[in-house]
Amino acid sequence: MVVNIHANGPTVYAHELYLLKGAAPGSYQVTIHLYASSDCSGDPLLSLPTATLDTNAVGNGEADAVLTPADADGLRGSTLGAIWTVQGPASYASACSAITLD
C-alpha cells in the first residue's frame, strides 16, 4: 500500500508512506515512476528511488519518504501519472495514479 500525502507546504511538499504485509521477507527498494500522461502511458519521465523498506520474518514492513518543494522543481503545476514499484525478494507495482502537483 502507498499513501501519498501532498501537503504542498513550504517545507514538506509530500509525505509518502509505504506498507508491505505478507510479502517475502527481506529488503526492498521503493521507487516512484512519473509519467507525462495521467494514464502512465509511454516511458517514465523520471524514476526516483524514495525509500528502502525492510520486512520482518512474516513479510511485514513499513517505510516513508518526505519530499521537499525543491524535489518538485520543474514539475509544479503538472498533472502526472505515477506508479510505485517495490523491488527485492519479490516485486510489486501499484496501479497508475494521477497526481496534480500544485
What domains are defined for the chain? 2-100 (2.60.40)
Q: 12-21, 46-55, 69-78 — which is least confidently predicted? A: 69-78
What is the rounded distance in angstroms from the CA atom of residue 96 to the CA atom of residue 84?
A: 8
pTM above 0.75, yes or no: yes
pLDDT at 11: 64
Contact 29, 87 (CB under 8 A): yes
Handedness of CA 17, 89, 32, 69 (dihedral sign): positive
pLDDT tens by residue, 26-48:
999 999 999 999 999 999 999 99
